[in-house]
Structure 1
Amino acid sequence: MNLFDARIGHGFDAHQLAAGTGVTLGGVQIACDYRLVAHSDGDVLIHALCDALLGALGRGDIGQWFPDTDARFAGADSRDLLRTVVDALHAAGYALVNADLTLIAEAPRVAAYTGAMRECLAADLRVTVDRIGVKATTNEGMGHIGRKAGVAAHAVVLIAPREGV
């Protein structure tokens, strides 16, 4: 692989938390006293990942591909959105080298779920699990995230031409 053919992408997403019975993060359902307020299922990890992949491709962002003004995406499973983005990645001749994701949240606690998230994301990205990093941190009680009013996520990806991966 020519190093200059590789591309880096970064994505960010945030959603409000409200009273509920569970959230979906990294494609994994987590029972808790919250829900994510969003047009789709609100999976901030996958949304940030989609933005990172689209950014690396120079193809806009998740809001352009799956607008929240379009009723087709109401309640959408974010894994379906990710698989669509991965299809576009492969059609453009690229594949994922690796992805690193960070969840920023006071609640829910996700340490027990990060392994399942990595497996779920690896399957949808069509890579081995060792190419996916998922970690979580708190906001140390500061701001809306610290007050358990929201969650956020960052994702960084490296993609390369498929023949070089």
Structure 2
Amino acid sequence: MSDKSAALFALTNSLQPVKRVWRQAATQIFANSGISMSLANLVVIVNRNAQGINQRDLAEEIGMNPGAMVRILDQGTEAEYLERRELSRDRRFKTICILPAGKKLADEIESSANKLRVQLMEDVSVEDIENATRVLRLLEARASNFLQEHIHEKK
């Protein structure tokens, strides 16, 4: 295996373990709040979309099946963190909006997550972080393009 192939192998094989352990560490941030990581992610993402976000787009952004997300959305609306609103132009589609309690929760989660990121990576330079982010986003874009090309080839 060439040096580049070995490095690419190490990169792609590190993605899942890094995601898993980051999620476990991040879960500790709000472990005492009684909410799940899934609901916390939903609340944070909706909060980042000030005008609300289409339910289908939200499911795609968090990487969840839209049907499976309904239960978590129900939890968010019951807790008064989130609200489903019908679009006036098409009542079949719902926009998910943040409510004041959800905004407060999202801001607390974001602040705590930022502190954790700084704590974990305090000795890593901004340049190294930016390079890692650039490489991961490039891999994401190229893998996405690959998938799109193969989807079109199969049609």
TM-score interval for Structure 1 and Structure 2 normalised by the shorter chain: under 0.3
Structure number with the higher helix fraction is 2
Relative to the length of structure 2, the TM-score reads 0.24
Structure number with the higher strand fraction is 1
Higher relative contact order (CA 8 A, sep 6+): 1
